[in-house]
Chain A
């Protein structure tokens, strides 16, 4: 019994001295194995406890376990000291590159389209979409474009086999959704549109539009102005000046083009606004009763507004991109510039 206690005392003295003066991690690890390893001195003592009486077990076992904890702590703290010395200030080159992880980028058009759509979703508009390959009915006739009318010339049309065309605007979604629903209908419809034009820096034969429309009882132009103001304030900045210019679209009456104060020159006139002080951003109006009639709505009971805007134009304006073709060339050095 006393022999064991003496052995514990010697072990403590030796181990504490050796651990606190161990010069390398390897020596420290060797010490740990000698004392605390499977065949270590302290382990052997603990194993020998099973031959003792319960009282002795408690006494010596308690002391041996105390010593075990003490030595373990000492080893850990000596290890920290030794490691700190090995990796002290100045020994690591922190300018070495980190692991090459990359975050990608949304396409600029997606970035801007998502922003636009999100703003309207917050105002209770539901997303809908329609086919890119359309019939004359949905793209023109149902939207009150008379056959053989010059209004059709304004939208150079791609025709495809099978007596169909590539939609020239997203407005056809109005008709398709009205046919499926009863008022109130409040929808935002983003999508790709096509115009049969020569591709150059300023115009492409493909671009994106976002169409919005709302039909219910008592919807007025005043409501349209409210929604568009909310959009413009959120998208271009609160308090941006706007103006409405009467215009002509076969499917709205009255129709209006909406301009905002040029945010480059503040309205003084600059090359970007072609010295007009205003930037055209969207077309809008009150849905023509002929369109409502075509979908079986009673224009005496309900009224509605519609608006449509290009996505590329505000995207390009915002970042002063001067060539629309860059958007479809997909050079990653271009794509990576937008976040």
Chain B
């Protein structure tokens, strides 16, 4: 909400500077940004009087005017359709730099010289209006700088009002805050209202069919009105508050809303259609055209103001087209009502409308300020619309809303804040906020109905503390609470995984948790993801069921930018449908593509492949204290069946991975092979084992023998290694594959495997003969079991 400084100063009586005012408001909970005017944009911009007007000799659409600025007369060309002799206008003379972007210079247009420019509102930065030049009130003083006259030197506060403070959606509400902060009494002055002789009740009666939705509906009748423009000061304030002036009657309803917070609506009485206001729920399928010209099909969620037959307004949201105040209006039926906040909220949502009116009703206006606002508007209509107010308010207060009474123990202020707030300060503050306070050990506080947010003792405590100032509360530097709180492995393991993978050169990526349904379906065809029901974009259509989705998305983003060599990982949740509640297991996923290690002049760079991936997984498992990793060919969705694996640690499946299905990669714009793995986090938590005592280092030397055998291509390296270990008994300390060879001279369908075997005994130095014997036995057994023969 926007409010000009002059208005708040006038209502509150404060004498703080705009800056100080903004600071105080912010520090007490009314966050605001001060917008200072820029006088430089109005240099050489003055009020002028059009004394003469002629057609431009060489241009149909232009006129040549004489504009008197008191000390001089200027010949000015104007193209606005509304330009006329006798008008007071805003004249920008050479040297002016409007809005800091439009420098005014003398120019010649089709042979006639123009000494300046008559301004429209948009050129001055007052509004977006460019329909014609701005025409000022007839009494505007010729020659005065426009900056002063137009009140553009008035700073404006842009206020951020929290949803609990409907009272501050008004100049009076904010002024009350300022008065409390300044320790001043606050009493807005009320203009007297002179009523005519004819009773308003002769014009209208009010029937409320739903008093839950409409506890109160009041109306005043103003007759003999004449539509015209509002005086400049009203228009100026509306513009400063960001509202568009329309005409005197509409402007007054808006002005009073901005001043009091009470939304008002003026109906053209002669076009109202009856002499009775009936407030009721819309019927199913009822049709209604709002004053913005849109037709709505209604249902009973919408509360309607009707004339007994047809709707004339959607209560609290927007009036109807047919009974709107028009240029011909002379009698106004002025509505001032209190509608239930929840009802207006639902109505507005149903209609797809959000208006200044609905915004205030949704947050809760003052049910007991309804008549005061109507009186204020009626008085202004008399003054600025030439009308007469019918006697009396027609006020149907169907469901009385009374002030709340709350007991406040002053010690609670200290208990919550930790500050020594004196009881008199508490009392003064609450009184300043409009509350009725009875002193005692426990204060008895009556809360006015313009503060619907205050219903409990804690709410009063909050009021006192915020006015006292949160910055004034002392800072406690004691560490309260437990000295020790435990850490949990399912949290610390994430840090461990990150440390290991980062150490291995992986970059951490972060996905959004969302997925595109169709793309995800290609990765995980069997799984039905959790759908987002109100997403604006397909990209956020479902929740991801696989980390692979996010990894491929990240990889695709990189490959598109020619970052072709990637080693990335992500730790995060996937979302699955569950029995009672959704399941959110956490995964760690890795993805390799290209040659992440780059090239090396000493040898050829490794292309990402299944064994690069396996090496990473092995290192990760080792780092996490898990059993060694093994892979088992096993189809997993999203991976190429030829190279799709289950990942095992000590026989336990901890995840799946492999070569990502190439069709899926292409869907993410990746045209090179990607190797991925997805590991479930809980599976990576090493079981809590009793601490094993350390193993002594060997005392006796080892003896190493190499062994190369030729076996059928189908024999796995692991099977051979297992056999070597089994046959070697306790003497084989370590055995590792150091070469794999196929092709000449190895026969087709065969492969050569070369192992390095280390023999060692714990209790003695092995004799060569002993090693030879065991080694020979291994060769023999490999021959029997795998039909292996020694390669010479």
A contacts, CB < 8 Å to B:
96-97, 99-107, 109-110, 114, 121, 123-127, 129, 131-133, 147-151, 153-154, 158-162, 164, 166, 184, 186, 192, 194, 196, 198-199, 204-206, 214, 216, 218-223, 225-226, 229-230, 243-248, 253-257, 274, 276, 286, 288-289, 303, 327-333, 335-336
Known A-B contacts A158-B532, A243-B27, A246-B470; the reply to A226 vs B485 at CB < 8 A is: no
Question: Nearest Cβ distance between residue B383 and chain A, in whole angstroms?
Answer: 35
Known A-B contacts A127-B488, A332-B566; the reply to A150 vs B509 at CB < 8 A is: no
Report the nearest A residue to B484, measured CB to CB.
Answer: A124
Pairwise interchain contact A330-B510, C-beta atoms closer than 8 A = yes
Known A-B contacts A105-B502, A186-B482, A244-B471; the reply to A164 vs B582 at CB < 8 A is: yes
- B561 in the interface (beta carbon within 8 A): yes
A residues in contact with B599, CB < 8 Å: 100
Bound together, the chains give a CA A257 to CA B162 distance in angstroms of 12
* Stretch from B76-84, B533-541, B628-636, B662-670 that touches the partner: B533-541
Pairwise interchain contact A161-B530, C-beta atoms closer than 8 A = yes
Among A153, A220, A288, which residue has its beta carbon within 8 angstroms of that of B415?
Answer: A220
Question: Nearest Cβ distance between residue A26 and chain B, in whole angstroms?
Answer: 25
Question: Nearest Cβ distance between residue A154 and chain B, in whole angstroms?
Answer: 7
Pairwise interchain contact A222-B474, C-beta atoms closer than 8 A = yes
B residues in contact with A149, CB < 8 Å: 163
B residues in contact with A132, CB < 8 Å: 513, 573, 575, 584
A residues in contact with B482, CB < 8 Å: 124, 184, 186
- B514 in the interface (beta carbon within 8 A): yes
Report the nearest A residue to B599, measured CB to CB.
Answer: A100
A residues in contact with B414, CB < 8 Å: 220
Pairwise interchain contact A245-B512, C-beta atoms closer than 8 A = no
B residues in contact with A125, CB < 8 Å: 485
Bound together, the chains give a CA A249 to CA B345 distance in angstroms of 20
B residues in contact with A96, CB < 8 Å: 601
Bound together, the chains give a CA A305 to CA B164 distance in angstroms of 20
Which of A147, A205, A214, A257 is packed against the most chain B CB atoms within 10 Å?
A205
Among A105, A159, A219, which residue has its beta carbon within 8 angstroms of that of B480?
Answer: A219
A residues in contact with B495, CB < 8 Å: 114
Among A99, A129, A221, A289, which residue has its beta carbon within 8 angstroms of that of B600?
Answer: A99
Bound together, the chains give a CA A150 to CA B354 distance in angstroms of 12
Question: Nearest Cβ distance between residue B631 and chain A, in whole angstroms?
Answer: 23
A residues in contact with B164, CB < 8 Å: 151, 248
Pairwise interchain contact B532-A330, C-beta atoms closer than 8 A = no
Pairwise interchain contact B534-A196, C-beta atoms closer than 8 A = yes
B residues in contact with A220, CB < 8 Å: 414-418, 476
Report the nearest A residue to B561, measured CB to CB.
Answer: A331
B residues in contact with A97, CB < 8 Å: 600-601
Question: Nearest Cβ distance between residue A169 and chain B, in whole angstroms?
Answer: 15
Additional 14 contacts, C-beta under 8 A, given A161-B531, A199-B537, A221-B418: A96-B601, A99-B600, A104-B567, A110-B510, A124-B485, A147-B342, A206-B512, A222-B474, A225-B474, A245-B31, A254-B416, A289-B456, A327-B510, A336-B507
Pairwise interchain contact B475-A150, C-beta atoms closer than 8 A = no
Pairwise interchain contact B345-A150, C-beta atoms closer than 8 A = yes
- From 13 to 69 in chain B, residues with beta carbon under 8 angstroms from any chain A beta carbon are 26-29, 31, 33
Pairwise interchain contact A131-B506, C-beta atoms closer than 8 A = no
Report the nearest B residue to A250, measured CB to CB.
Answer: B164
B residues in contact with A289, CB < 8 Å: 456, 458
* Stretch from B324-332, B459-467, B747-755 that touches the partner: B459-467
Question: Nearest Cβ distance between residue B343 and chain A, in whole angstroms?
Answer: 9
Question: Nearest Cβ distance between residue A322 and chain B, in whole angstroms?
Answer: 18
- B554 in the interface (beta carbon within 8 A): yes
Pairwise interchain contact A105-B511, C-beta atoms closer than 8 A = no
Pairwise interchain contact A196-B535, C-beta atoms closer than 8 A = yes
- B363 in the interface (beta carbon within 8 A): yes
Among B33, B346, B475, B502, which residue has its beta carbon within 8 angstroms of that of A226?
Answer: B475
B residues in contact with A110, CB < 8 Å: 498, 508, 510
Pairwise interchain contact B601-A151, C-beta atoms closer than 8 A = no
- B598 in the interface (beta carbon within 8 A): yes
A residues in contact with B419, CB < 8 Å: 221-222
Question: Nearest Cβ distance between residue A48 and chain B, in whole angstroms?
Answer: 24
Report the nearest B residue to A188, measured CB to CB.
Answer: B485
Which of A214, A243, A248 is packed against the most chain B CB atoms within 10 Å?
A248
A residues in contact with B197, CB < 8 Å: none
Pairwise interchain contact B536-A198, C-beta atoms closer than 8 A = yes
Main SS of the interface on chain B? loop
Among A186, A194, A274, which residue has its beta carbon within 8 angstroms of that of B485?
Answer: A186
Among A102, A109, A219, A330, which residue has its beta carbon within 8 angstroms of that of B558?
Answer: A330
- B185 in the interface (beta carbon within 8 A): no
- B697 in the interface (beta carbon within 8 A): no
Report the nearest B residue to A133, measured CB to CB.
Answer: B582
21 CB < 8 A contacts A-B = A100-B597, A104-B506, A109-B510, A124-B482, A150-B163, A159-B533, A162-B577, A186-B485, A192-B572, A192-B573, A196-B534, A206-B512, A220-B417, A221-B465, A222-B474, A222-B476, A223-B480, A247-B162, A254-B465, A286-B416, A330-B557
Report the nearest A residue to B417, measured CB to CB.
Answer: A221
B residues in contact with A330, CB < 8 Å: 509-511, 553-554, 557-558, 568
**Number of B interface residues, CB 8 Å?**
97
Closest 6 CB pairs of A and B: A222-B418, A220-B418, A246-B29, A126-B485, A248-B162, A102-B505
Pairwise interchain contact B535-A158, C-beta atoms closer than 8 A = yes
Report the nearest A residue to B345, measured CB to CB.
Answer: A148
Bound together, the chains give a CA A96 to CA B465 distance in angstroms of 68
Interface mask (B475-510 → A, CB under 8 Å = 1, otherwise 0): 111111111111110010001001001111111111
Bound together, the chains give a CA A328 to CA B540 distance in angstroms of 13
B residues in contact with A253, CB < 8 Å: 458-459, 461-462
- B704 in the interface (beta carbon within 8 A): no
Question: Nearest Cβ distance between residue B480 and chain A, in whole angstroms?
Answer: 5
Bound together, the chains give a CA A289 to CA B475 distance in angstroms of 23
A residues in contact with B581, CB < 8 Å: 131, 133, 164
Interface mask (B583-601 → A, CB under 8 Å = 1, otherwise 0): 0100000000000111111
Among B418, B534, B554, which residue has its beta carbon within 8 angstroms of that of A158?
Answer: B534
- B187 in the interface (beta carbon within 8 A): no
Bound together, the chains give a CA A199 to CA B537 distance in angstroms of 10
Pairwise interchain contact B568-A226, C-beta atoms closer than 8 A = no
A residues in contact with B561, CB < 8 Å: 331, 333
Among B458, B491, B509, B598, which residue has its beta carbon within 8 angstroms of that of A288?
Answer: B458
Bound together, the chains give a CA A198 to CA B535 distance in angstroms of 10
A residues in contact with B553, CB < 8 Å: 330
Known A-B contacts A196-B535, A243-B27; the reply to A335 vs B470 at CB < 8 A is: no
Bound together, the chains give a CA A28 to CA B95 distance in angstroms of 97
- B167 in the interface (beta carbon within 8 A): no
Report the nearest B residue to A288, measured CB to CB.
Answer: B458
- B563 in the interface (beta carbon within 8 A): yes
Interface mask (B349-368 → A, CB under 8 Å = 1, otherwise 0): 00000000000001100000
Pairwise interchain contact A160-B507, C-beta atoms closer than 8 A = no
A residues in contact with B531, CB < 8 Å: 160-161
Pairwise interchain contact B532-A166, C-beta atoms closer than 8 A = yes
Bound together, the chains give a CA A247 to CA B554 distance in angstroms of 39
Report the nearest A residue to B359, measured CB to CB.
Answer: A150
Bound together, the chains give a CA A300 to CA B513 distance in angstroms of 41
Question: Nearest Cβ distance between residue A47 and chain B, in whole angstroms?
Answer: 19
- B543 in the interface (beta carbon within 8 A): yes
Among A150, A166, A246, which residue has its beta carbon within 8 angstroms of that of B362?
Answer: A150
A residues in contact with B235, CB < 8 Å: none
Bound together, the chains give a CA A243 to CA B28 distance in angstroms of 11
Pairwise interchain contact A254-B163, C-beta atoms closer than 8 A = no
Report the nearest A residue to B498, measured CB to CB.
Answer: A106
- B785 in the interface (beta carbon within 8 A): no
Pairwise interchain contact A133-B462, C-beta atoms closer than 8 A = no
Pairwise interchain contact A243-B534, C-beta atoms closer than 8 A = no
Pairwise interchain contact B163-A245, C-beta atoms closer than 8 A = no
A residues in contact with B416, CB < 8 Å: 220-221, 254, 286, 303
Pairwise interchain contact B558-A332, C-beta atoms closer than 8 A = yes
Pairwise interchain contact A245-B507, C-beta atoms closer than 8 A = no
